[in-house]
Structure 1
Amino acid sequence: MDSRDSLRHQGMRKRLVEGIRIKGVRDPRVLDAIAKVPRHLFMDSSFIQFAYKDQAFPIGAGQTISQPFTVAFQTQLLDVQPNEKVLEVGTGSGYQAAVLVEMGATVFTIERQRELYLKVQQLLPEIGYHPKFFYGDGYKGLPTYGPFDKIIITAGAPVLPEELLQQLRVGGVLVAPIGPSEKQVMYKVTRNSEDEFEKEKHLQRVHKTEHGTYCG
């Protein structure tokens, strides 16, 4: 256990998890991962006292750490299984990547903001999480490393990126907030065959993601 993760922090996470459960996230594996990842270590010192509030907060480079409910909701839709290859588009703070690693996934994560990319490369291994880091345009994906079992986009996109859809294996799932800011819809897309994709919309209230908002 990281020495900076006290019993007080663990108790605060327990209360956070209960709040997320009440809001509708029921997958015990997701809730267990949220309970284990020390969110306060991902936040700027000026916001650390708010680490276990269900809110998004600034992390630098004009970005935010996602609302915990958003992370839990997207992860539940993704239905991550141990040892699956997961591509994350938008590393941001690294919090979502840590949750995926905690669930046993092999995580490939891409960040386009160099400041955040360099910061998270140091932070995550320091606290015991070892995804594979990449710097660049996440919407192009990582075709050399695909196909992926799951793909998660933490930043709102105007449309579903075709290049990412083509990097899903048949049977794979992509989860992403799509649409203009403040009107984003959370999509779950399942690749049923080489050329057939099933799309589901998940509509709730607006929530903060690493790089914007979604109505998920």
Structure 2
Amino acid sequence: MKDTNKHQGLRNQLAKQLQEKGITDKNVLDAIKKIPRHLFLNSSFVDFAYQDKAFPIGAGQTISQPYTVAFQSELLQVEKDHKVLEIGTGSGYQTAVLVTLGAKVFTIERQNELFKKTSRLLPTLGYRPKLFVFGDGYIGLEKEAPFDSIIVTAGAPIIPQALLSQLKIGGRLVIPVGDDIQIMTLLVRKNETQFEKTEFGDFRFVPLLENKN
């Protein structure tokens, strides 16, 4: 499968669509324009890759819709060389966005099928996270903490305390919280004990799973 001028044109259209939906971060929009989303999808969905939709990727998981990826990425406020922890690697598309934004990405996936598939795929496409771990996202990655930001790409019924404790002062946690429908939630660490919380409306994610390894 190749990346063609036609795909590039579709990506440009997608970025324009996301801008019209309210995404303003130029770096995020540029990342959406650069990354060949069709190469992260199962072949049966390739023709629909640049629609603003989620698609199944196996193991009961999905690749998030581009608007959701862009929205979460924008909330993170990624700067070059930021240490970012991603909970739920999935297809690797969000990982690629973070790498393209210049982050040092530490990413965790707990579905072995996806872990194997994505750990092979990302390097072949030129996206190299700092560390790719098969493990439980609920407990984060304490040995690599603290992080400038943490992104959770699955619906969490609660905000895991371990993730809050692994943020730097001033660090940002972006997490969809809830059971059937999630509220996109941003927590900014103000000091050792205090977090500022902002909520951004309803989204739908597959559930964040724990203790399956």
Both structures adopt the same fold (TM-score exceeding 0.5): yes
Which residue pairs with 2:113 in the alignment?
115
RMSD (Å) for aligned C-alpha atoms:
1.2
Describe the SS at the equivalent of 1:180.
Answer: coil
Deviations 1:103-149 (A, max 9, x none): 00000000000000000000000000001200010110000001000
Which residue pairs with 2:124 in the alignment?
126
Identity value in percent? 56
Instruction: Provide the TM-score with structure 2 as the length reference.
Output: 0.95
* Distance of 2:185 and 2:40 partners within structure 1: 26
Which residue pairs with 2:90 in the alignment?
92
Which residue pairs with 1:150 in the alignment?
149
Name structure 2 gaps, 5 residues minimum: 209-213
Q: 2:203 aligns with which of 201, 206, 215?
A: 206
Deviation >4 Å, runs of 4+: none
Name structure 1 gaps, 5 residues minimum: none
Q: Within 5 Å, give how 1:46-195 maps onto structure 2.
A: 46-131=44-129, 132-182=131-181, 184-195=182-193
Amino acid at match of 2:54: A
Q: Which has the higher contact order (CA 8 A, sep 6+)?
A: 1
* Distance of 1:175 and 1:72 partners within structure 2: 12
* Distance of 1:192 and 1:206 partners within structure 2: 26
Kindly tell me the number of residue pairs found equivalent between the two proteins. Answer: 207
* Distance of 2:100 and 2:83 partners within structure 1: 13
TM-fit CA distance, 1:212:
5.2
Instruction: Provide the TM-score with structure 1 as the length reference.
Output: 0.93
TM-fit CA distance, 1:181:
1.3
* Distance of 2:97 and 2:2 partners within structure 1: 18
TM-fit CA distance, 1:94:
0.4
* Distance of 1:82 and 1:32 partners within structure 2: 15
TM-fit CA distance, 1:4:
1.1
Which residue pairs with 1:33 in the alignment?
31
